[in-house]
Amino acid sequence: MRDSLWDRRSVLAGAGALSFAGAVPAVAQGADVGVGAFRTMPLWPGKPPGGARVTATENRVERQPATADGNYIVEHVRKPTLTMLKPAKPNGAALLLIPGGGYRFVSMGNEGFPVARRFAEAGYTCFILLYRLPADGWSAGADVPLQDAQRAVRTIRSLAPREGFDPGRIGVVGFSAGGHLAAWLATRDVREIAAPVDAIDRLPASVTAAAFVYPVIALRDPVAHKGSREQLLGADATPARIAAYSLEENVMATPPPAVLVHALDDPAVPYQNSLLMAEALRARKGAVEVHLLESGGHGFGLGTTKPAVANWPELVAGFLGRHGV
């Protein structure tokens, strides 16, 4: 990591925060939301919507090596949350981080906590999304992760006055299936999935810029990640339904700037997913940057042990900074 780059990013300012009326979520783990401490808040007031038929039990699975922040995945998410990390030197922008897990679990320890710490060093107020999963019986079905992602952006926007960042400078960074969710959130016209439950749900769900890291994009063969597709749509999805959730299709008329990162040797999600998304965005005259890296495989997270991918956070921060985040 080159300190000079991160120092330059930390002084990019955006102090003029707008005020939004409405509820502001309470922080669940105490009132101290100081620099360097992760603090978690519920995503929804009370129970999340559409859970009458959900019977699965939320399960946290610890992984090795253990880390100070926690190295775990969460299966069968029943209580979606946002976990916030405040930077020592705020740059006036916020990032929503969406870990992957093939829509079967959420990888908080690999693509959540360490990534938040890295981007907080660059000045971003970071929010990690623990989102509900589509195969658990929620009434929104395949759309339930998007329901949480939209709510997350709106919640972050509602927190801007209190936390001191610009509500017009919110980016999203998604990984693997979380990259599918991030691209779904960022590059398609907002579709209301459920009736608003409070004032937060009436705020915009748009983002200023986006980053997709080894993302699942296409659900069609031969480049689909079949596990993500099956969790999202079931084993017998029709071609029309597969097309509807393939994100290179139906990109909005004016998509936000987006940067994509993929290793050429990814054995799980072929790098062509990123190329398909880039071409779709370029067809809409969107600002796009693509980094195809020599090696790194899939799920490399920060990539600190893999030299070919270790500098991707700097590449992403540079792009986001040039495009207002």
Residue the block writes with tokens 């042990």 = 305
Number of other residues whose CB lies within 10 A of the CB of residue 30: 8
31 located within any domain: no
**What phi-psi label fits residue 199: left (phi over 0), alpha (psi between -120 and 50 degrees) or beta?**
alpha
Q: What is the pLDDT of residues 27-42, one digit of tens each?
A: 544 344 567 899 999 9
* pLDDT on residue 160: 98
254-307 pLDDT, tens digit per residue, is 999 999 999 999 999 999 999 999 999 999 999 999 999 999 999 999 999 999
Q: What SS3 class is residue 65?
A: coil
CB atoms within 10 A of CB 139: 15
Q: What total number of domains does the chain contain?
A: 1
Residue 192 has pLDDT above 90, yes or no: no
Domain-embedded: residue 150: yes
* pLDDT computed for residue 26 by the predictor: 57
Is residue 43 included in any domain, yes or no?
no
Is 54 within a domain?
A: no
Q: What is the pLDDT of residue 179?
A: 98
Higher-confidence residue of 35 and 230: namely 230
* Residue 204 token pair: 């915009």
What's the pLDDT band for 105 if we cut at 50, 70, 90? very high
Q: In this predicted model, what pLDDT tens digit does every residue of 145-191 receive, in sequence order?
A: 999 999 999 999 999 999 999 999 999 999 999 999 999 999 999 98
Q: What CATH number is attached to the domain comprising 174?
A: 3.40.50.1820
Q: Band of the pLDDT at 24, cuts 50, 70, 90?
A: low
pLDDT of 212 strictly over 80: yes
- Domain interval for residue 151: 3-15+60-322
- Give the pLDDT of residue 22: 47
